[in-house]
């Protein structure tokens, strides 16, 4: 028996406005595509549409640069208002070089620019990450459940660079209804040897799989469904993926 799963990009999602119900919009787009949402589907949603729905898109001019922002702007060449937004979203700066600013966000994510993005929001605008992406995922999951009667999992994704390797990959910044890490410690290998350190971050792997069909927001495919993947239901969020500083060897 082959294990088989499908990754399906959902097109036809309209431009999202503050206050929009993403759950309803997703269900409508799926229906219009001639599909139906099924129990155990994993629904993956790009961060930028969540930020838009939650009113996390601001004018750059809303950010008044602090002395610190002006200083960093001079070093990095970034717009000082952009730097101010980045600093407001950060708990600390992790690395800075050239025009790159790596920060730790309030969610514990370590990423470029605190995830504050100038792309896909229009000139002079800036999108901040959702305040609580696990909560965002939970809300969408609840809306989809109410509208369809189906039990699904929801993952909010964002594309992040990483140390050591070129190119960004899509990761899970929020999730609901799925255990994000598959903990296989204690299981045994082919030869009966106990697996030592086998924790697999399936939420990130699902997010990466989804990006293969999303093809970026500018092609208008901000939502994907992964169907056929067997996962463990859990109320743990993607917060659980964040490695605490004291366990981390690279901060």
Site for a second copy in 220-239 (CB under 8 A): 220-221, 226, 229
166: tokens are 């070129």
Q: Could you say which residues in the range 50-79 bind a second copy, by CB under 8 A?
A: none
Say which residue the tokens 């045994």 belong to.
Answer: 188
- Nearest approach in angstroms of CB 91 to a second copy is 13
- Nearest approach in angstroms of CB 34 to a second copy is 9
- The stretch among 19-27, 139-147, 149-157, 212-220 that binds a second copy (CB under 8 A) is 212-220
Q: Binding to a second copy by residue 3, rule CB under 8 A? A: yes
Number of residues that bind a second copy (CB under 8 A): 81
Q: Binding to a second copy by residue 17, rule CB under 8 A? A: no
- Nearest approach in angstroms of CB 200 to a second copy is 6
Q: Which of residues 68 and 99 has its CB atom nearest to a second copy in the complex?
A: 99
Alpha carbon 50 to its chain's center: 9
**CA 24 – CA 237 distance, rounded (Å):** 22
96: tokens are 């800075």
Q: Binding to a second copy by residue 182, rule CB under 8 A? A: yes
CB contact set of 122 (below 8 Å; sequence gap of 6+): none
Q: Which of residues 113 and 176 has its CB atom nearest to a second copy in the complex?
A: 113
- Nearest approach in angstroms of CB 106 to a second copy is 15
CB 28 within 8 A of CB 143: no
Tell which residue, 87, 177, 83, 175, has the closest CA to residue 132.
175
**CA 60 – CA 49 distance, rounded (Å):** 18
């Amino acid at each position: 028996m082959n294990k088989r799963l499908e990754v399906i990009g959902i097109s036809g999602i309209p431009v999202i406005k503050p206050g929009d119900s993403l759950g309803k919009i997703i269900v409508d787009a799926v229906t219009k595509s001639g599909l139906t949402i099924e129990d155990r589907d994993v629904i993956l949603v790009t961060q930028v549409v969540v930020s838009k729905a939650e009113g996390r898109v601001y004018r750059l001019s809303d950010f008044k640069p602090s002395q610190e922002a002006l200083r960093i702007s001079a070093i990095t060449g970034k717009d000082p208002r952009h730097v101010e937004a980045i600093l407001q979203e950060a708990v600390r700066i992790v690395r800075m070089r050239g025009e790159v600013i790596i920060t730790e966000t309030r969610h514990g994510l370590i990423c470029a620019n605190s995830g504050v993005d100038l792309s896909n929001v229009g000139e002079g605008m800036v999108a901040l990450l959702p305040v609580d992406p696990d909560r965002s995922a939970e809300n969408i999951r609840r809306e989809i459940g109410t509208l369809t009667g189906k039990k699904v999992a929801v993952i909010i994704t964002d594309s992040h660079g990483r140390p050591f390797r070129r190119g960004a990959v899509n990761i899970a910044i929020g999730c609901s209804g799925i255990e994000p890490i598959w903990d296989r410690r204690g299981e045994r290998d082919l030869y009966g040897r106990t697996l030592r350190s086998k924790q697999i971050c399936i939420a990130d792997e699902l997010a990466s799989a989804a990006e293969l069909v999303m093809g970026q927001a500018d092609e208008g495919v901000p939502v994907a469904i992964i169907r056929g993947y067997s996962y463990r239901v859990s109320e743990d969020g993607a917060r659980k993926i964040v490695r605490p500083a004291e366990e981390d060897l690279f901060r």
